[in-house]
């Protein structure tokens, strides 16, 4: 009996030790890998916090102009670029990013890959005279006076920038001042043109494995802007980087510039290019529904818009030896514009290539349509 | 002494078993997510007594194409709206410009007889069209529901229970759709020789 008691005692003690070891092993929390990177364009700083699906999905964010706080569901290891512009601190499962000179901040949680994106508008004075750079690479080297850096950011069409292809002229600055070397033509048809690259940020537009409409439209807009600047026209882009911008903001920004022409650049999955103007048909609407309509500022300019659209469509049809489509749609980006406004959609079907040559041809046709 | 030692060991074992049990319970137990209340406003809606022929206005080849489906059952108008929306998105693919894998999360109606349809995020993420495709999708949804259920005033689309600014980057989705989709889009071709 005594012997049995001793054996049982040993077994129990051994089991206790095993259980304690097992519990301590299982309770050891796994650490998640979190990477932090950023990009900067003018007064916009874009922070991207990337990690596992479960970690990002389970995280909570609190954003204010002074602080961005992210609480993760697990302990984490943080990887961030050496030249990260904001001060970070971490405590247990919390990452704090101290923000300075911030005017506005928006935080989005996105998937594929799982990430938290913070778009931060900083005060102009806070932005040093540095070109934009990606946070995951070493600090950008100083560039020349031209804004060549944004053009390098565009991965829209990998094959687009071929070695032999003609390089577009530098994109215009936000103020739209033409380069000093460019001789202004005698009498430009337009003094100021606002170009709106469609989509951006979390709004990808049309998306395939190697095509993002948001990048493509930005690249096309920059190429078109460069062509217009060469003609001595002041050009303003509604966005110059991969940033989300609500339609209402684009409209108010464009109207604030009092342009002579507004061009919105998009893509279409069809075979034919299309040029769209506003559809100004309010008949049949009662007074309550009219309240929902943002504005019909386009009324004053619709004839001019249609003329420009037809001219562009005819130039595209003539150059491509194929039909172009003229459309009228009640899109707010057109109906709310207090200027002649046209939305151009570039055909990007699988059959159609979007290489630099085809795009240059398209830009050339649009230019012919604008300045016949 | 021996019995006392056994008791101490047993207490330790119980304590450790309890601690281990609590640990695993807290780690793996996920409480049941409370289900949202049943679709509807709580008010008695008019009932449909017979088989109903539903006219789906589907965006195809840059225009709306009407397809008829028969939905059976003794169903209330709000449930009919739910069935119609589900039928509409079942037509995704097949050359229709309708996003795939869109799930209906709910159909509601407010006091002003505005019908809210709450759809999954696939509506936005899987939309792969241009401005006209987006317009026809919204117009198609509106006209399908209007032609089936005449007793509501307007239609509003929510994504994951929230208002979103736009579906595909061309039109506002924050407002009810009626004012947007009342117009017919115009389209003409310009030939090379012109």
Digit-coded pLDDT (tens) for A262-286 = 999 999 988 889 999 998 765 555 5
Gap from B170 CA to chain A (nearest CA, Å): 6
Gap from B73 CA to chain A (nearest CA, Å): 34
User: Most distant CA pair in chain A: distance in Å?
Assistant: 115
Q: What single-letter DSSP state applies at residue B161?
A: T
Question: Cβ distance A70 to A91 under 8 Å?
Answer: no
Whole-angstrom Cα distance, residue A266 to residue B13? 69
Q: B188 contacts in A (CB within 8 Å)?
A: 325-327
Nearest CA in chain A to B22: A23
Express as a percent the part of chain A with pLDDT over 90.
Answer: 28
Selection from B184, B10, B129, B188 nearest residue A325 by Cα: B188
Residue with tokens 């998937």: A111
Complex ipTM, two decimals? 0.71
- Phi/psi of residue A72, each to 5°? -90, 155
For the entire predicted model, the pTM comes to 0.61
Number of inter-chain CB pairs under 8 A, A vs B = 136
Among A119-133, A321-335, B160-174, the minimum mean pLDDT is found in A119-133
User: Would the pLDDT of B42 be above 80?
Assistant: no
Whole-angstrom Cα distance, residue A281 to residue A289? 13
Residue with tokens 């020789």: B193
Whole-angstrom Cα distance, residue A217 to residue A214? 5
Whole-angstrom Cα distance, residue A115 to residue A36? 10
Among A105-114, A194-203, A282-291, B27-36, the minimum mean pLDDT is found in A282-291
Whole-angstrom Cα distance, residue B102 to residue B167? 13
User: Would the pLDDT of A184 be above 50?
Assistant: no
- Which of B179, B184, B187, B193 to probe the A interface (max A CBs under 10 A)? B179
Sign of CA dihedral A317, A323, A324, A326: positive
Establish whether the linkage from the previous residue to A13 is cis, with ω within 30° of 0. Answer: no
Beta strands in chain A (DSSP E): 32-41, 44-50, 60-63, 67-71, 76-79, 87-91, 94-98, 102-110, 115-122, 192-197, 207-208, 211-212, 234-237, 261-268, 274-278, 324-329, 341-347
Whole-angstrom Cα distance, residue B171 to residue A287? 21
Is B169 at the interface with chain A, CB within 8 A? Answer: yes
Residue B140's contacts (CB-CB under 8 Å, 6 or more residues apart) are B56, B57, B58, B59, B64, B88, B98
Kindly provide the b/e burial profile for residues B152-180, where b requires at least 16 CB atoms within 10 angstroms of the residue's own CB.
bebbbbbbeeeeeebbbbbbbbebbbbbb
Q: A366 contacts in B (CB within 8 Å)?
A: none
Q: B184 contacts in A (CB within 8 Å)?
A: 281
User: Would the pLDDT of B55 be above 80?
Assistant: yes
Question: Cβ distance A223 to A181 under 8 Å?
Answer: no
Residue with tokens 């290539």: A353
Give the pLDDT confidence of A243-263 residue by residue, as tens digits.
888 998 999 999 999 999 999
Rg of chain A over Cα atoms, rounded to whole angstroms, equals 27
Q: What single-letter DSSP state applies at residue A125?
A: G
Most confident option among A163-167, A364-368, B57-61: A364-368
Contact A332 B172 (CB under 8 A): yes
What is residue A18's predicted lDDT score, i.e. its pLDDT? 82
Contact A318 B188 (CB under 8 A): no
Give the pLDDT confidence of A127-149 residue by residue, as tens digits.
444 434 333 333 333 333 333 33
Of the partner residues A269, A274, A314, the one whose CB lies closest to the CB of residue B194: A314
Selection from A78, A124, A130, A118 nearest residue A103 by Cα: A124
User: Would the pLDDT of A159 be above 60?
Assistant: no
Q: What single-letter DSSP state applies at residue A171?
A: P
User: Would the pLDDT of A85 be above 50?
Assistant: yes
Alpha helices (runs of H) in chain A, residue ranges in sequence order: 2-27, 53-57, 148-152, 213-230, 247-256, 287-292, 302-320, 332-335, 356-370
* Region A106-123 average pLDDT: 82
Of the partner residues A198, A284, A321, the one whose CB lies closest to the CB of residue B169: A198
Sign of CA dihedral A130, A133, A138, A142: negative
Q: A316 contacts in B (CB within 8 Å)?
A: 190
* Region A357-363 average pLDDT: 88
Contact A20 B16 (CB under 8 A): yes
Give the pLDDT confidence of B126-141 residue by residue, as tens digits.
888 899 999 999 999 9
């Amino acid at each position: 009996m005594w012997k049995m008691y001793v054996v049982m005692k040993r077994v129990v003690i051994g089991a206790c030790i095993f259980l304690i070891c097992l519990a301590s092993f299982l309770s050891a929390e796994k650490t998640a890998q979190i990477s932090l990177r950023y990009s900067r364009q003018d007064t916009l700083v874009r922070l991207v916090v990337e990690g596992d699906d479960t970690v990002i999905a389970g995280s909570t964010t609190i954003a204010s102009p002074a602080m961005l706080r992210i609480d993760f569901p697990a302990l984490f290891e943080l990887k961030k670029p050496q030249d990260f512009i904001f001060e970070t601190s971490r405590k247990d499962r919390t990452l704090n990013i101290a923000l300075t000179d911030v005017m506005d901040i928006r935080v989005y949680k996105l998937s594929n890959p799982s990430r938290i994106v913070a778009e931060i508008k900083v005060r102009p004075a806070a932005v040093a005279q540095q070109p934009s750079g990606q946070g995951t690479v070493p600090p950008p080297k100083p560039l020349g006076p031209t804004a060549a850096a944004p053009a390098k950011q565009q991965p829209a069409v990998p094959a687009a920038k071929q070695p032999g292809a003609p390089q577009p002229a530098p994109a215009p600055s936000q103020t739209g001042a033409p380069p000093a070397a460019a001789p202004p033509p005698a009498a430009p048809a337009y003094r100021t043109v606002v170009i709106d690259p469609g989509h951006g940020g979390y709004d990808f537009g049309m998306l395939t494995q190697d095509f993002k409409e948001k990048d493509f439209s930005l690249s096309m807009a920059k190429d078109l802007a460069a062509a217009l600047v060469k003609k001595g026209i002041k050009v303003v882009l509604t966005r110059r980087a991969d940033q989300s911008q609500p339609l209402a903001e684009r409209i108010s920004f464009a109207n604030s510039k009092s342009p002579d022409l507004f061009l919105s650049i998009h893509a279409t999955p069809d075979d034919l290019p299309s040029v769209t103007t506003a559809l100004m048909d309010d008949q049949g609407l009662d007074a309550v529904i009219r309240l929902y309509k943002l504005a019909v500022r386009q009324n004053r300019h619709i004839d001019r818009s249609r003329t420009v659209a037809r001219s562009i469509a005819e130039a595209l049809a003539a150059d491509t030896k194929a039909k172009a489509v003229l459309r009228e749609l009640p899109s707010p980006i057109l109906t709310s514009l207090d200027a002649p406004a046209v939305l151009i959609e570039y055909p990007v079907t699988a059959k159609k290539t979007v290489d630099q040559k085809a795009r240059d041809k398209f830009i050339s046709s649009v230019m012919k349509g604008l300045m016949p | 002494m021996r019995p006392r030692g056994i008791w101490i060991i047993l207490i330790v074992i119980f304590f450790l078993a309890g601690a281990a049990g609590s640990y695993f319970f807290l780690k793996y137990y996920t409480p049941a997510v409370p289900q949202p209340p049943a679709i509807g406003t709580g008010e008695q809606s008019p009932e449909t007594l017979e088989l109903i022929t539903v006219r789906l206005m589907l965006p195809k080849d840059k225009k709306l194409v009407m397809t008829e489906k028969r939905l059976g059952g003794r169903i209330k108008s709000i449930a009919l709206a739910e069935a119609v929306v589900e039928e509409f998105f079942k037509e995704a693919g097949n050359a229709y410009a309708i996003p795939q894998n869109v799930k209906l999360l709910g159909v509601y109606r407010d006091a002003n007889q505005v019908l809210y349809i709450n759809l999954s995020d696939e509506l936005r993420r899987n939309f792969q069209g241009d401005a006209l495709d987006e317009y026809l999708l919204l117009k198609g949804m509106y006209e399908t529901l209007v032609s089936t259920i005449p007793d509501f005033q307007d239609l509003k689309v929510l994504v994951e229970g929230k208002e979103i600014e736009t579906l595909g980057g061309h039109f506002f989705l924050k407002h009810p759709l009626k004012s947007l989709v009342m117009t017919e889009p115009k389209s003409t071709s310009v030939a090379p020789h012109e």
